Amino acid sequence: MPQHKSSVKRVRQEKKRRIHNRALRSKLRTLYKKVLVTDEKEKGEVLLKEAVSYIDRMAVKGIVHKNNAANKKSRLVRHVNNLS
């Protein structure tokens, strides 16, 4: 357990941020899976637009690394392009 006041506050802040970041990452994974599961081109394109936008926002915020975000977007785009 931290001894300094500032350390105690830091622990409280980290706990809040960890919970918040977990929720953001969870939503990212959900959107990602929704796109990969779809088998209709039109529906896939709508979901893709939403997912790519969200992935970009998470990369800017540092929730996922920018290269990881690029890889995810690339995989989603390839999937949607291969739908008939």
Domain count of the fold of the chain: 1
Identify which of 42, 33, 30 has the alpha carbon closest to the alpha carbon of residue 76: 33
Q: Which residues of the chain have pLDDT under 50?
A: none
Q: Quick check: 27 and 54 in contact, CB under 8 A?
A: yes
CATH number, domain containing residue 71: 1.20.58.110
**Domain span including residue 42:** 5-82
Provide the whole-model pTM.
0.89
Identify which of 68, 37, 30, 23 has the alpha carbon closest to the alpha carbon of residue 51: 30
pLDDT digits (tens, 9 = 90+) for 45-59: 999 999 999 999 999
